[in-house]
Chain A
Amino acid sequence: MASTMSERPPFLTGTPLRVLVGLVLVVNGMFPALWILFTSLKAENELMLKPITWLPHAPTLANYLRAFTDQPLLLFLFNSFMVAILSTALTLFISVLAAYALARLHIRGRDLILSAIIAVSTFPLVTLLVPLFEIMRTLGLLNTWTSLVLPYTVLSLPVCTLILVSFFEGIPRDLENSAMIDGCTRLGALFKIVVPLSAPGVFTAGILAFVNSWDEFLLALSFNSNPQLRTLPVGITLYQGEFAFPWPVISAALVVGIVPVAVLIVIFQERVVSGLTSGGIKG
């Protein structure tokens, strides 16, 4: 085995070439975010220089100060956080129950239900803009977090359920059975044995649900016309300067919006990759 490996001619394994390829990958992935970070640190007069500067000459946090004072950026952040956290919690609760039923209980039409879940995962929520708008209006939910939490839950429900089904199926039934012999109910066994043992899966599903909610734009733009209820993407997009689009402030606000998700991704990168590749949906 070792001898065949060493006979295999090296392909792009020379260190300089590999470093170059790695650099291409990193620049491709990071450059847009880095560029907006540089922009946000430049003073307004530096941004008007031609030819443009790349690295900020005199880094300043003035744009950040303005981003938080010109517009209620903190409120947008809060709205985004609350909507994302509430919909993640609701998604996890509902998908844990459904996934347990699908993974453990004998259900007629199980395959049909799984197909339906995959179909829902590809469902274009855009097309339901009119009826959802009317439903939210009728229920008096326009301009509330709830009008976003409910559809976002549906957005993430399929992928979370599929991830959890595969995790639950990997947990030995004996553990559950012995807990039930010890007097635990089936539901008790679910929450005391199965969910804790599937913690990585629950976590992965939760991160995907959070990112889905954090990113959503169209429904947030359509349902909450009240500026006080705007989420971050909508709030930043609708920033209006007096004459032109206020790029310095926008770039600072974008950095503020990127940081929370970037932190999440940096800490849990391996989980996210495994979740995406096992039942990933978003493009």
Chain B
Amino acid sequence: MAVASNTSPMIRKSESASQWWTRWLDPSERTLAVLLLLPAALLLSLIIVYPVVRLVWTSFQNLSLTSGVPAKFSGLENYALMLEDPIFWEATWNTVLITLITVPGALVFGLALALMANLPFKRKWPVRLSLLIPWALPLSFAGLIFAWFFHSEYGVVNDILRRVGISGIIWFNSAGWAFAAICLTIIWKTSSFMALIILAGLQTIPRSLYEAADVDGAGRLRQFFEITLPLLKPAIVVALIFRTITALQTFDIPFTMTRGGPGTSTSTLAMYIHQNTVDFLDLGYGSALAVVMFAISMCVTTVYLRMIRTKG
């Protein structure tokens, strides 16, 4: 203090400025934590929190950009409309069906891929790349490629079928075949991610367990069901839940393969939300649809968080 009173005001000023600087550059731990988390918090507020509030609010409104009428509070009208909308039910049913078919499908197929990839190959990279390329391929690209695969005249699938004596499936003209093509594509595209997760799980299982089982005389099949599968469970659960949540949002593959056709027979909830929002500009109804989807996803996420907690 005595020193400070001896120095000129000029120097004192610059000293406090430099103190301010160091305090700003080296704040207390708590301030620093807040500062460091701030950008993430701001971005999440803008892109998630505020939009969620706004979504729920808009879902109670009659808001169509094509009508030119300003937004009007309409209570549950959008939801009532939804219950009587056959396309909503069709799209929701398709979404649920896609989830129920492709999630177990990708699990079984992915498990098979992982077990194969876990064999002691001399070179690891071709196998690794074969699992990574389908994962990295954009969903929309996978949709386009498989649409070409299933092309009724020039597609490779019909070419192979013709060789074994089955001819003339016109995949995208019937709801059933189109739906099958979409599900097969989704299973192919998503199983490699499953396989990667399961493979990582497989590699953590200690070899000694199998050796002990050999000594006890347990067969391969028994070892698989009593050692491999139980120890893989945590990896499988995580992979299944992520896959379920993404399956509920299915959009890219049906959009690029069929645009929801023939008719609306292969459209999903996400596609119907997109159509109402971007094509029809009916923001109120689009929001109500999204709230339903949001509720379904939230349930799955809650289950997921609970499972992680009990696991940890």
A interface residues (Cβ-Cβ under 8 A, vs B): 4-5, 7-8, 11-13, 18, 21-22, 24-26, 28-30, 32-33, 35-36, 39, 47-48, 50-52, 54, 93-95, 97-98, 100-102, 105-107, 113, 115, 118-120, 122-135, 150-151, 153-154, 157, 161, 185-188, 211, 214-215, 217-218, 221-222, 232-234, 236-237, 247, 250-251, 254, 257-258, 261-262, 264-266, 269-270, 272-273, 276-277, 280-283
Q: Do A122 and B113 contact each other (CB < 8 Å), given the known contacts A30-B130, A154-B48, A276-B196?
A: no
A130 touches B287 (CB 8 A): yes
* Assembly CA distance A48 to B136 (angstroms): 30
Question: Mind listing 16 A-B residue pairs with CB under 8 Å?
Answer: A4-B215, A25-B131, A28-B130, A28-B134, A35-B149, A50-B153, A51-B162, A52-B155, A115-B305, A124-B294, A126-B274, A126-B293, A130-B290, A157-B40, A233-B252, A251-B148
In the complex, what residue of chain B is closest to A274 when comparing beta carbons? Answer: B200
B138 touches A247 (CB 8 A): no
Q: Do A233 and B44 contact each other (CB < 8 Å), given the known contacts A97-B37, A122-B242, A127-B273?
A: no
B232 near A: Cβ within 8 Å? no
> Which A residues lie within 8 Å of B146 (CB)?
32
A124 touches B297 (CB 8 A): yes
> Which B residues lie within 8 Å of A277 (CB)?
196-197, 199-200
Interface string of B128-164 (1 = CB under 8 A from A): 1111111111111110111011010111100100100
A214 touches B138 (CB 8 A): yes
* Assembly CA distance A120 to B220 (angstroms): 41
Q: Do A283 and B190 contact each other (CB < 8 Å), given the known contacts A127-B55, A134-B54?
A: yes
Main secondary structure of the interface of B (DSSP, over half): helix
A215 touches B138 (CB 8 A): yes
* Assembly CA distance A18 to B287 (angstroms): 52
Q: Do A129 and B273 contact each other (CB < 8 Å), given the known contacts A13-B120, A32-B145, A97-B39?
A: yes
Q: What 7 A-B pairs are tightest by C-beta distance, nearest first?
A: A29-B130, A131-B51, A277-B200, A101-B36, A215-B138, A127-B290, A283-B246
* Assembly CA distance A24 to B114 (angstroms): 12
Give the interface residue-count category, chain B: 35 or more
> Which A residues lie within 8 Å of B294 (CB)?
124, 127
Least distance between A179 CB and chain B CB atoms (Å): 12
A269 touches B139 (CB 8 A): no
B126 near A: Cβ within 8 Å? yes
A269 touches B125 (CB 8 A): yes
In the complex, what residue of chain A is closest to B34 when comparing beta carbons? Answer: A101
* Assembly CA distance A22 to B215 (angstroms): 29
Main secondary structure of the interface of A (DSSP, over half): helix
* Assembly CA distance A152 to B253 (angstroms): 19
Q: State which of A25, A95, A127 has its C-beta within 8 Å of the C-beta of B291.
A: A127
A222 touches B119 (CB 8 A): no
Known pairs A222-B278, A265-B133; list 19 more (Cβ under 8 Å): A22-B121, A24-B116, A25-B113, A28-B113, A95-B40, A98-B36, A100-B36, A105-B36, A107-B33, A123-B301, A128-B290, A133-B277, A150-B47, A153-B47, A154-B43, A185-B25, A218-B252, A250-B148, A273-B128
